[in-house]
Amino acid sequence: MKNIRNFCIIAHIDHGKSTLADRLLQSTNTISERDMMDQVLDDMDLEREKGITIKSHAIQINYKHTDNQDYTLNLIDTPGHVDFSYEVSRALAACEGALLLVDATQGIQAQTISNLYLAIDNDLEIIPVINKIDMDGAMIEEVKDQIVELIGCKPEEILLASGRTGLGVDKILEAIVEKIPAPKGDPEAPLQALIFDSVFNSFRGIIVYYRILNGTIRKGDKVKFVSTNQEYFADEIGILKLKMTERKEVSAGDVGYIITGIKNAKEVKVGDTITLSNNPTPEQIRGFEEVKPMVFAGIFPVETDQFEELRDCMDKLQLNDASLTYELETSQALGFGFRCGFLGMLHMEIIQERLEREFNQTVITTVPNVSFIAYTSKGEKVIVNNPTEMPDPSRIDRIEEPFIKAQIITKPEYIGNIMTLCLGKRGILINQSYLTQTRVELIFEMPLTEIVFDFYDKLKSQTRGYASFDYHPIGYREADIVKMDILLNAERVDALSALIHRGRANDFGRKLCEKLKELLPRQQFLIAIQAAIGAKIVARENISAMRKDVTAKCYGGDISRKRKLLEKQKEGKKRMRQIGAVEVPQEAFLAVLKLDD
């Protein structure tokens, strides 16, 4: 065990984690030149395309150190986006050390800091690395100062590297062996293995990745997952080279995989402890949490008769993404669909894209909202994941909404803009501190619902991209939330309802009506668009009548041409939804996301 090192790389998004990981694999010949594709660890198509790591993976590296001994280095790759921070934290818990990677042109960013805190929480040895030093804009000295300030190390302890050229990779490997402690643990003790990830394989079922803290797991053992209390047989176990490599046993200190024939990702919870049925560990590994979805939205098939097909796809998608939740939803406007829960907005985008790409489903996604809690005057507690679930205002005693702690790192010249933006979103400034002269950290407490819509985009445009952002939920607080309905020719469109803070409701209603006026095609009769809170109309727009005759161009008697045009029009209409007499195009259901100021 003394020659094992378990480590991960933590960094802000795009600071070059995957590229550096590739270099580590290449320089240790873990992977041959021929197999080398850029970013081998990002093996989902979508990951590669978006250039982000969505799920963490692990890989074993064999390395001969300058002391001439052979070492086994287990590299655990972690996702870089805030939506997946729980996964990061569990991957970190499986390591003894972390490379803290900072882009030399960017310096310390929000997720550098939040990931660092997660690593410190897990007692990891930190090896600071400045990456991308090959780039023209590299500010090595300045970034060194920032790192020294942040973690209190000596400047000479900071390694310099370039994932692009491979510069500094040798020094990193040496530091991993010399600085990161070998794992502790007793191979003879009752089994205690931490699940830090799982993947779905259509032939083998769910493959679970774990790090063994204590004990030994052998092929054929009967194992138990502590939090679900389910038992399985270890059909196959092994370690993770570039491919899975089967072994008879895996012991304390090591990282490995287990296949038990589990078909549903829900049975496998990241952070859970695996133990042996006949000799269970008395303690679960600390830090296990059920991940809760933060953002909810409806997903509906474009054609109502494609509902069954969509259900099938959702089932399959959930098999390999346990953090996706969904339940049946019926909407008068959109028919049968699902109310889905996501970890955050990026997660929602990923699910939508996977449905379209991997499953060939065209879907309508409705306005996302957070999960509110309504307390009725009778003392009942109602979880509201959908505007239609909000009890009638006359029955409500109070409503609570989720709050987050937001951390923003920026340049001093943008403080003003950020303050205006965050205070306008009901943020409360908690702290402002200078990390260095050119870098300031702002901490706000804010309602999550204000982040859901367009916060990222606004933050970016207000700071010309010089701001990084991270957040963590900090519980629920009382809020004055109202339900805003949209009526088209006096008919309520349930899929367009939104839950919104009362102070912003009128303004929001007016803008939404204006936006819908742009998005709805003119029809042969007048359309009234109204926004209402309860029975009170707060805004109205009209779309005047027009007669659209697509065959008008075809004077003369060419009937087949006329028919073709009518066919074409019918195709276009498929993406439309009939609300009463009004036809509503798909974009309109997401109009809320496109409101300008």
Ligand X SMILES: Nc1nc2c(ncn2[C@@H]2O[C@H](COP(=O)(O)OP(=O)(O)OP(=O)(O)O)[C@@H](O)[C@H]2O)c(=O)[nH]1
**Which of 4, 8, 24, 52 lies at the binding interface for ligand X (CB under 6 A)?**
52
DSSP 98-144: EEEEEETTT-S-HHHHHHHHHHHHTTPEEEEEEE-TTSTT--HHHHH
Q: Do the annotations mark residue 170 as ligand-binding?
A: no
Minimum distance from CB of 66 to ligand X (Å)?
A: 24
Query: Does the annotation list 312 as a binding residue?
Result: no
Instruction: Record the tokens describing residue 520, joined without a space.
Output: 């709805």
Q: What is the CA radius of gyration of the chain?
A: 27
Q: Among residues 82 and 206, whose Cβ is nearest to ligand X?
A: 82
Beta carbon nearer to ligand X, 17 or 90: 17
Stretch that binds ligand X, among 50-58, 449-457, 531-539, 555-563 (CB under 6 A): 50-58
- Cα–Cα distance list, 165 to 22, 24, 42, 75, 556 (Å): 11, 12, 20, 20, 69
Q: In what order do the strands lie in the sheet with 4-11?
A: 58-64, 70-76, 4-11, 97-103, 125-131, 159-160
Between 164 and 501, whose beta carbon lies closer to ligand X?
A: 164
CA atoms within 13 A on the CB side of 155: 7
The pair of three-digit structure tokens given for residue 353, joined into one six-digit string: 């894209």
Q: Which is nearer to ligand X, 15 or 269 (CB)?
A: 15
Q: Which is nearer to ligand X, 134 or 186 (CB)?
A: 134
Q: Is 103 annotated as a binding residue?
A: no
- Closer to ligand X at the Cβ: 36 or 526? 36
Minimum distance, C-beta of residue 478 to ligand X, in the bound complex (Å): 36
Nearest approach in angstroms of CB 111 to ligand X is 8
**Which C-beta is closer to ligand X: that of 31 or that of 520?**
31
Least Å from the CB of residue 15 to ligand X: 5
Judged by beta carbon, residue 21 or residue 399, the one nearer ligand X is: 21
Which of 8, 11, 130, 270 touches ligand X by CB under 6 A? Answer: 11
> Which CB, 176 or 268, lies closer to ligand X?
176
Of 133 and 496, the one with the shorter C-beta distance to ligand X is: 133
Q: Which residue of the chain is nearest ligand X when measured via CB?
A: 80
Distances (CA, A) of 26 to 177, 342, 375, 453: 17, 36, 57, 42
Q: In Å, what is the CA distance from 524 to each residue of 35, 341, 488, 527?
A: 61, 39, 14, 9
Instruction: Please check if 18 is assigned to a binding site.
Output: yes
Q: Please answer whether residues 19 and 164 qualify as being in contact, where contact means their C-beta atoms are separated by less than 8 angstroms.
A: yes
Question: What is the pattern of x (binds ligand X, CB under 6 A) and - over residues 84-123?
Answer: ----------------------------------------
* Closer by beta carbon to ligand X, 112 or else 251: 112
Binding ligand X (rule: CB under 6 A), the pick from 1, 44, 46, 135 is 135
Describe the crossing of helices 140-151 and 110-121 by its angle, rounded to 10 degrees.
40
Residues 105 and 137 sit within 8 Å (Cβ to Cβ): yes
**Rounded to the nearest whole angstrom, what is the least distance from the CB of residue 40 to ligand X in the complex?**
11
14 labeled binding residue: yes
Closer of 11 and 499 to ligand X (Cβ): 11
- Which H helix or E strand runs over 515? helix 502-519
Helices (H), 293-424: 307-320, 345-358, 415-424
* 363 touches 356 (CB < 8 A): yes
Among 25, 74, 80, 84, binds ligand X (CB under 6 A): 80
- Residue from 4, 8, 10, 13 in contact with ligand X (CB under 6 A): 13
Interaction with ligand X in 147-206: which residues (CB under 6 A)? Answer: 162-164
The answer to the question of whether 269 is labelled as a binding residue is no
Q: Which of 15, 161, 139, 112 is nearest to 438 (CA)?
A: 139
Residue 342 DSSP symbol: E
Q: Which stretch binds ligand X (CB under 6 A): 49-57, 66-74, 256-264, 395-403?
A: 49-57
**372-376 vs 381-384, strand pairing mode:** antiparallel
**Site residue total, ligand X (CB under 6 A):** 19
31 contact partners, CB below 8 Å, separation of at least 6 = 25, 40, 242
Nearer to ligand X, 18 or 449 (CB): 18
DSSP H helices, 394-478, are 415-424, 448-452, 455-462
What is the nearest approach in angstroms of ligand X to the Cβ of residue 84? Answer: 10
- Interface region with ligand X, contact rule CB under 6 A, candidates 11-19, 460-468, 508-516, 573-581: 11-19
- CA torsion sign, 344 to 350 to 355 to 361? positive
Residue 503 CA from chain centroid, whole number: 29
**548 among the known binding-site residues?**
no
Question: To the nearest whole angstrom, how small is the minimum distance from the Cβ of residue 138 to ligand X?
Answer: 9
Binding mask 376-395 for ligand X (x = CB under 6 A): --------------------
Instruction: Please report whether residue 349 would count as binding ligand X according to CB under 6 A.
Output: no
Enumerate the β-bridge partners of residue 102. 130
The piece of 132-140, 453-461, 514-522, 530-538 that touches ligand X (CB under 6 A) is: 132-140
* 53 binds ligand X per the rule CB under 6 A: yes
Element holding 50 (H helix, E strand): helix 45-50
For residues 156 and 139, what is the distance between their CA atoms, to the nearest angstrom? Answer: 16
Scanning 46-54, 267-275, 550-558, 589-597 for contacts with ligand X by CB under 6 A, the matching segment is 46-54
DSSP 8-state assignment for residue 323 = T
Residue among 515, 533, 536, 534 nearest 584 (CA): 515
What's the rounded Cα separation, in Å, for the pair 431 and 440?
10
Applying CB under 6 A, which of residues 132, 144, 425, 511 lies at the interface with ligand X? Answer: 132
475 is in an annotated binding site: no
Among 6, 8, 10, 15, binds ligand X (CB under 6 A): 15
Candidate residues 6, 115, 122, 131; the one interacting with ligand X per rule CB under 6 A: 131
Regarding beta strands 205-214 and 255-259, do their DSSP bridges make them parallel or antiparallel, or are they unpaired? antiparallel
Burial class (CB in 10 A: 0-12, 13-18, 19+), 578: exposed
Answer yes or no whether residue 14 interacts with ligand X by CB under 6 A: yes
Binding-site positions for GTP: 14-19, 131-134
Q: Residues forming the annotated binding site?
A: 14-19, 131-134
Give the footprint of ligand X on this chain (CB under 6 A): 11, 13-19, 51-53, 80, 131-132, 134-135, 162-164
